A and B are shown apart, each in its own frame.
Chain A
Amino acid sequence: DAGVIQSPRHEVTEMGQEVTLRCKPISGHNSLFWYRQTMMRGLELLIYFNNNVPIDDSGMPEDRFSAKMPNASFSTLKIQPSEPRDSAVYFCASSSGGSTGELFFGEGSRLTVL
């Protein structure tokens, strides 16, 4: 079975450019999460969706960040304009809900903003 699929795996861009990260959750999972990981701050929740509806976006750093989930099989995280401090690994994860707490993570998108 396919796991969570993220693209691109790596992106290097220049400050001011728009970045779009993509995620395909595991089929049948109804919750989708976007996390950012850095050495300094660890793994931080940016936003999560339940049944395609954003539930909590309090972790989104600022207006430059936006996330959408137009259907159950696709989500995007967009940064516009990007800044060097946005450099991090961005993980998408999905779960089937319930109390098991198991999140299935994608392999991550490593973003470098020069």
Chain B
Amino acid sequence: RKEVEQDPGPFNVPEGATVAFNCTYSNSASQSFFWYRQDCRKEPKLLMSVYSSGNEDGRFTAQLNRASQYISLLIRDSKLSDSATYLCVVNLQGNLIFGKGTKLSVKP
């Protein structure tokens, strides 16, 4: 079983839609969690951390369920500029392990 698993997509949604990405991780000792964003042919960049209580940053909401070893990212009112690949990342003893990413394409 892969350490961090994501639905690869692609998710094709119209502007204004709400879209949710899911991620599961295999090691219960994982300490912290993040979502990174990677644009086509660019480097990954941190989007947001994921806290146990859930956290929101504008149109983006991240949630963590430690019991189920599950992380989610919700994007509301999606914009064309949200088109990218979203990478779920787990910190295990200082080692950041990346999922393969979920590709989002927002259409006009």
Chain A nearest CB, measured from B2 CB (Å): 9
SS class, residues of chain B in contact with chain A: strand
Chain A nearest CB, measured from B46 CB (Å): 5
A residues within 8 A CB of B87?
Answer: 43
Please determine whether A103 and B96 come into contact, CB atoms closer than 8 angstroms.
Answer: yes
B residues within 8 A CB of A100?
Answer: 49
Docked pose: A72 CA to B73 CA in angstroms: 35
Docked pose: A35 CA to B42 CA in angstroms: 14
Band of interface residues on A:
10 to 19
Docked pose: A101 CA to B95 CA in angstroms: 9
Docked pose: A42 CA to B88 CA in angstroms: 12
Residues of B near any A CB (own CB < 8 A): 31-34, 42-46, 49, 87, 89, 91, 94-101
Given contacts A56-B95, A101-B46, 20 further A-B contacts (CB under 8 A): A35-B98, A42-B100, A43-B87, A43-B98, A43-B101, A45-B98, A48-B95, A91-B43, A91-B44, A100-B49, A101-B32, A101-B49, A101-B96, A102-B34, A102-B46, A103-B46, A103-B96, A106-B43, A107-B42, A108-B43
